[in-house]
Structure 1
Amino acid sequence: MDTSHSTITSTSFKIKDLLLRAWRERWTEIEWGREIKRLLRGVSGDVYDLADCMLRQAINGPVTNSLLMLYLNHCLDSQIISFGACIMAITKIPDLKPQCMNSLLDFLIRYKNRTNCYGNDDECIALCRSLVTFLHWLHSIMLSSLNELNHEFGQNIDTTYNMTIDSIHWQILDKSCQMLRFIIDSSYLKALLYIGRMEEQSVWKQCLQLHNELITKLQQQQQQTPHSSFESISDTLQAFQTKIEWLRPVTTETNVKKSQNIQPLDVDLISNSIIPVVHQMMTTRPEFGYIPYRPLSYHSIRIVVSFYAILDPSYSNELIANYLAIIARSFDLSLSKLYCETLHTCMVGLIDTHNLANEDRKNINYHAWIAFLLFKIPQIFLQLSQYRIKLRKEIHLDNHQSNQTDLESGIDMLMDLGPCIDQFLLRYKTEHLQKLFDSFKEMNLLSITAQ
């Protein structure tokens, strides 16, 4: 352990020396990228806190160092460091100057679509935590900029002097609102935020307190100096509050649209709610009633199948079958329905792929779905058939006597979904289905006489 720690420390010092040398000699970003890769030797820069080191050197002054920021951009583009590590590094830097803060917001806006993680479970959880910390940082700089504007307004009789977009504090507020809107409009980021706030409950509670304080300051400022820019910020904060209503326990009397003013969030109420979203989905009926053949189980199966078909095609067949079996037990699905929904998800994925406009993405997704359907699905179904005895004890299976009957019943259910089959056959040849059925027969999942 000591040897490993000393190695990391030694490499971190070498990284700092290399960075200073690159700045003194005015290397291009290509030269910097070549040398840093040679030093890291295939290891991610996140291991050595490369993002933190570069950012601290880049903001060592009243404004950011443009050359070092160029190196940072190159490291992100080359995937030497992750965007999550950059977010975490930015939030750790204290006492940022306004110009540095503005430059960092430009950097975040440029790479905001890079908020993802392809590492292990710990790295994914770290990304969720960093998102909560970043949201806390975002509220902090918004509150700080608003306080600075209040101070400037108090010193100037002509309030229009600072009501221009040239004011650095206005730019910070505007760019912070851009990032806030991006987060609340992304279901993916909101899902990460939900996980992160469970991991960082104290930080999340502080974030909500800052949100309430920001609302109070903003309302006071609007009363003193009404301006359209304040209204835009207010709309963003209200959108944020509306979007995180899913963190509250659902009540029938809740109606956000009825309130004309932004009301402070109940911090304790939100912090103490465990899983209100799942509770609402599982215990309430929609106004139009249940859809007979599309319960929540369908969406759960589709998420699992789509994820491992597109994003992680090399994942173990046995583990995927395990996940599907867990869903079957959770929703009391028969094995035949599980087969049907899994095949239906693959067909829908291929249909959606055919409609993609980007040809490169279309080809990638097509090959991923075809490989998953023809090579992995038979193996997954074979694993599920081996779980039959265990499944029979825990879920309600149809009264059939053989594994073949379960799969045949699932295929019969699939055939009842006429529009889906028709759309699939309009876009693809029947050879795909024939190869799939041949694989089922080779594994004795279908009888030889099945058509």
Structure 2
Amino acid sequence: MSIQIKKEPTGSGISSGLLDIKKEPGSSSQNASNTRAVLVSKIKMNLMQAWRERWTEIQWAIQLKKLMAAYCTENVDVAEILMQQALVGSSPNSLILSYLKHGVLSQMIPYHTVLKYITEFDDFSRPYCILALLHLAEMFGSKISLSPCQDSPLQLVRTILSLIHWQVKALYICLQRIQENKSTVAAEYFVIMDNASRAIINILDRKAVRSLMQIAKTDSPDAYREFEQCEMNVGGTISQLPSNSQLGDTREKINSALLQLSKLNDMSPSFEPVLEITNSPICPTINSLVVLEAILNSSSDIQPFVDQVLVVSRLMKLPMPQLCLEIFRVCFMGFVDTNDFSEDLQWATFAFLKVPHILNAIKEKMPDWDMSSHVERGLDMLLEFSHLLDQTDIKQNFDMLVQFITELQKANIITESQKTSLCMKRSEQRSRLRPSDISGSNEGKNLSRVTHAEATVTSILKGSATLDRMLKTSSDVPVKSLDSDPHRNSESMIKVLTIMLQGHSFDILRLAAASTGRLHDFMSKLIRINELASQTTSESLKIPNRNQLFDVTFLMIISIFQQNGLGIALSNKENEYALVVQWAKRWLPEEGKYKNVEFIEEQDKVDAILNLMLSSAEIIPCGQIASWKEMIMYLPYALQEILFAVEHMALNLEKVKMIIDHIRKQNIKSLLLVCTTYLCSYMNIVGAAARVKPLKMLEFFTISLGIDTKQPIQAIIDNIIYDILPEGHPQRPIRRYQLSSKKLTSEIMNETLKDSFHRGWLNMASLHTLEQLLVLRGPDWFCAEMVEHLLKQNHTDDATQSLSLAFAIMHMDLERMTISLLRRVLPSLLTTPQNSLLTDPRGYCLAKLCVLSITATHMSKIGQKEPYVRRRHKRLITEVDMDDDFDDGDTPPAKLRKLSEPQLSLSMEDFNLAALADKEDGEVLPSLDMKDPLNKALVNLFQLMNTILMNKTLSSRTWFIVSIIQEAIKCGGTHSSFIFQFMPQNMLNQVMRSLPGVFSDEHILRICDLSTLSGRKMAAKAICNNAQIPQLNLFD
């Protein structure tokens, strides 16, 4: 809208001398508006006198200040009065405009007020007025100080947006006039376009202004859309005008202005990777993540691993072909590194079965990627490591790469032509091997059986005519799958399950089911069959050979529990009350932790089982023992009666040996498992002196079992007795990876990390050692030791490689180790003054580790389907129960154990979330889950860092805090927003006061949450202050 200009009449009210300022006498009844009207009238009179007498700017300013001082209680918009008087006719009053200019430059008049009135003037029929206003706009917009008042940082943002929009609008209106009247356009309009273009270029040439425009985009979205539409109209209109039109050089100036405007859409900074490995032949992070997934997380769903790998590759800015190479190469490194066939099976199932599923999942998540060409390029790069491929083929006596490529082609990841080309390249390489190098072991061919195991698992779960062929069973076996009716097909089912238990067949099937995400279904079907076979005698009379069916399924299920954890069965609530699950929860040791043997039993059933043990009868459900459930649950207490009799000298050892031999000769091997489990649990709760008799009985049970060591029963019992038998005992199983009792755990940890960090990747020995140390000492100790070793690195390259590996090791138990890092390790380092461990590059690498761990933990929480899923190969049932109990109620327990060391927590400190942000009127703070330990840890950490900054002492701790903020900025997107939402509002100001210029405008825009009013205010204020300070460019 046009500003309405009222010309003041000249008359007797104007004297020839200086204006006599006299305050009107007031009365108690005089209205304040009348006083203001009098002041406005006198300002106008003063202005007219100054114009008539040609006062200088200083004379006019002195008189104006005297007048304002006389009416100090009144507030008058002097800029509006000057604008009205200056724009009376078709041409502006240059003298009054000079007064206006002087008032702004002398800070008598707020410049954003003048710019506001300039942008409201839209009478383009007066081109000379427009030219004068363009001159003022260019001068004020490009030279005036960006120092807003404390209460109006956003006013500057809105004013700049209006100003740029007005100038673009001037271009558009002039271009429209040229388009409509091509031959009769006044020359003034070309001058307007030249000046407007120059003003836009000069104003937007300041980086701070461009940054403030980004805030305006969020603060005033509707106005910004109108501005963008006007810019598009200018571009479209000028493109429609012929090149030979009257524009001439003006066209180039307008195009230059449009180019400057286009930079507003290009403000996203390109930061360097958060994690970058430059001098290492492999990527330690991806390499070690794949090792963890293949060995420790074999039964996990692939989606969390896919999310982890994609996040890491994005933070590292790793190209997709390079990512494929890292995943492929570590598989072959694993084949070479292992000397145990069971680990070979794990690598084979991961490489041949799981990797194709992983690549397909990545393809679904990134549909725009040309996965086929990326994988082909990765395989081409893998072929350059011919020495590694040759070592794998020589060890396995099999063309492993060709088998791998074949599986990728079967999964439709690469085409048939790509497969042929790659196989020919590998065949040419392999032809250089000596015949003697690739002859001998048949383990490679055995490993290739895992590719058939996937079809076998599908057959077992869904039913297929290929089951007999896959399991190499006889043609008279009619069973199709585990869904078959045990009442009619129990004999055939027993034959199939018995074949599955022979040799490594069950391991292959278990790993194949785990790698393809079907282990839960496989487990559920086994539990269903076991539950049917364990029913009372009257209910299961129609099931022939139910004892053998119960025994074989019981052993299979317990073997899976030992390898993958009991929590895997609890994903299906229907399994919770099954006999085998109840027995495992009651008796099965977990990670060397045995269960309590005290239990209320029915003595008559115990006596019935005891009679079976003392007689020569077969130990099966009969008489008072109506089901296998009663047999399994009460058998330990019958054995307990025998043990008590031995301890009280009522039975001699010879008689005990006869009883135990009778149990061992039974066809039901589950009885042997139940008895050994009870004896181990009993020995765990008694003293050393009382262990002699039960240890002797345990020896009778385990000595010379005469069972193939590959059978599940032998492996199950070995796992149970390993932790209870003393070191050096002849019957204690020999394990390849075990901690030495002759060294402290800290020494073992130090040696393992030193070797791994120097090597740059995790081998099998280091992986299993670190896993045992984590289970033994817990995440707090483990994380503290790893960080301590990381901070010993003094060279940047060594520190970066160690950081990359340490970040991967954190994924062994990501959430708990991240919480330990944030709640234990960092506060300990930050509360130690003059701590040299935080000096760069050590502090810089530790900051990267913190940010990477927080980001990875946050992403894992977003992607996990169930609340109790953790990225480890096992999940203890005690952890599942704890999480379930925690989720049942929102209120904490009435009484809590008082810890010797106070822990920071929101509930204990009565923390108020309003401290995280200056809440504006009507603004709602983001909702945070205060039960989430990661959120609590981040809140407490930022509080601690803010307290350190308030100390106003520069130290290595200050630079460490800046490094954390800088690395969080590099993460970008939702990752940065998640971290900075816990940052107190005054923390950015504290950092910029301590280290002026440490953050650029791009950094500030990333730190502040522009979606909130308080965040926009903080960003605008910080950018304006930053414009007065030279940038340090410490991180660019």
TM-score bracket for this pair, using the shorter chain length: 0.5 to 0.7
Question: Using the alignment, how far apart are the partners of 1:46 and 1:126 within structure 2?
Answer: 22
Q: 1:134 aligns with which of 152, 163, 168?
A: 163
Which position in structure 2 is the counterpart of 1:317?
none
1:101 aligns with 2:101: no
User: How do 1:145-294 residues align onto structure 2 when only pairs under 5 Å count?
Assistant: 145-155=174-184, 167-223=187-243, 225=245, 227-246=248-267, 285=315, 287=317
Change (3 A) 1:245 1:334: farther
Q: Report the CA distance between 1:195 and its aligned residue.
A: 2.8
Pick closer, same or farther for the CA change 1:415–1:150 going to 2, 3 Å.
closer
Offset of residue 54 of structure 1: 0.5
More helix by share: 1
Name the SS of the counterpart of 2:169 in structure 1: helix
Shift of 1:334: 5.2
What is the CA–CA distance in structure 2 between the aligned matches of 1:93 and 1:80, rounded to whole Å? 22
> Counterpart amino acid of 2:226?
Q
**Deviation at 1:45?**
13
| Structure 1 residues 54-133: aligned runs within 5 Å | 54-96=82-124, 97-111=126-140, 112-121=142-151, 123-133=152-162
- 1:134 Cα offset (Å): 1.4
Describe how 1:402-417 pairs up with structure 2 within 5 A: 411=955
- Give the 3 Å change call, closer, same or farther, for CA 337–71 of structure 1 in structure 2: farther
Deviation track 1:201-243 (CA, whole Å, cap 9, x = no partner) reads: 3222221111111111110114463744313311321331232
Distance across 1 between alignment mates of 2:136 and 2:316:
42
Paired residues, number: 285
The CA distance in 2 between the partners of 1:44 and 1:116, in whole Å, is 27
CA shift, 1:413, in A, is 5.6
Structure with the larger RCO, 1 or 2 (CA within 8 Å, 6+ apart) = 2
Alignment-derived partner of residue 353 in structure 1: none
Aligned mates of 1:396, 1:220 — CA distance in 2:
60
- Matched residues in 1 for 2:121 and 2:59: separation? 27
Q: Is the 8 A contact 1:46 1:82 kept in 2?
A: no
The Cα shift of 1:151 comes to 4.4
Instruction: Confirm or deny: 8 A CA contact 2:119 2:163 kept in the other structure.
Output: yes
Q: Residues 74 and 60 (structure 1 numbering): CA distance in 2 closer, same or farther, change over 3 Å?
A: same
Q: Against the structure 1 CA distance between its residues 28 and 414, is the aligned structure 2 distance closer, same or farther, given a 3 Å change threshold?
A: closer
Aligned partner of 1:116: which letter?
L
Alignment RMSD: 4.7
1:212–1:64 distance in 2 versus 1, CA, 3 Å = same
Give the one of 19, 32, 39 matched to 2:47.
19
**1:13–1:285 distance in 2 versus 1, CA, 3 Å:** farther
Query: Cα gap change, 1:286/1:60 in structure 2, threshold over 3 Å: closer, same or farther?
Result: farther
Q: Quick one: distance in 1 between partners of 2:33 and 2:149?
A: 21
CA drift of 1:137 comes to 1.1
Give the Cα separation in 2 of the matches to 1:246 and 1:179: 20
Local SS of the residue matching 1:154? coil
Distance in 1 separating the partners of 2:70 and 2:316: 52
Q: How big is the shift at 1:80?
A: 0.4
Shift of 1:185: 2.5
Q: CA 1:194 to 1:333, structure 2 compared with 1: closer, same or farther past 3 Å? A: farther
Cα distance in 2 for residues equivalent to 1:74 and 1:27: 13
Query: What are the within-5 Å matches in structure 2 for residues 230-379 of structure 1?
Result: 230-246=251-267, 285=315, 287=317
What amino acid is the match of 2:84?
A: R
Question: How far apart, in 1, do the equivalents of 2:89 and 2:190 lie?
Answer: 21
Q: Give the superposition deviation at 1:182.
A: 2.6
Letter in 2 for 1:241: S
The aligned counterpart of 2:67 is 39
Structure 1 residue 36 displacement after superposition: 0.7
Q: Tell me the distance in 2 between the aligned counterparts of 1:337 and 1:4.
A: 59
Q: Which runs of 5+ in 2 are unaligned?
A: 1-29, 270-312, 320-796, 801-821, 840-908, 916-935, 961-1036
1:172 partner amino acid: I
- Kindly provide the CA deviation profile for residues 140-169 of structure 1, in whole angstroms up to 9, marking residues without a partner as x: 11112222333453349xxxxx8xxxx322
CA distance in 2, matches of 1:287, 1:144: 46
CA distance in 2, matches of 1:410, 1:100: 54
Q: Which one-letter code corresponds to 1:132 in the other structure?
A: L
Q: 2:828, 2:37 → 1: CA distance?
A: 54
Contact 2:194 2:254 in 1 (8 A): yes
Aligned to 1:308: none
1:366 is aligned to none
Offset at residue 120 of structure 1 (A):
2.8
1:17-55 CA-to-partner distances (Å, cap 9, x unmatched) read: 321222233222121100111122299999522112111
Q: Matches of 1:233 and 1:182 in 2, distance apart?
A: 13
User: How far has the Cα of 1:13 moved from its partner?
Assistant: 3.2
Q: What is the CA-CA distance between 1:90 and the residue it aligns to?
A: 0.8
Q: 1:53 aligns with which of 81, 96, 108?
A: 81
User: Whose radius of gyration is greater, 1 or 2?
Assistant: 2
Matched residue type, 2:250:
S
Q: 1:64 to 1:155 in 2, by over 3 A?
A: closer
SS of the equivalent of 1:13 reads helix
Residues in 2 aligned to 1:155 and 1:99: alpha-carbon distance in whole angstroms: 17
2: distance between equivalents of 1:14 and 1:20?
10
| Residue 117 of structure 1: how far off its partner (Å) | 3.6
- Provide TM-score, normalisation by structure 2: 0.24
The match for 2:675 is none
For 1:260-308, what per-residue CA distance to the aligned partner results, in whole angstroms no more than 9, with x for missing partners?
A: xxxxxxxxxxxxxxxxxxxxxxx9647499x999xxxxxxxxxxxxxxx
Residue identity over aligned pairs, in percent, reads: 21
Are the structure 2 counterparts of residues 36 and 285 from structure 1 closer, same or farther at C-alpha, using a change threshold of 3 Å?
Answer: farther
Which secondary structure does the structure 1 equivalent of 2:241 belong to?
A: helix
Output the CA distance in 2 between the equivalents of 1:209 and 1:107. 25
Cα displacement (A) at 1:8: 4.1
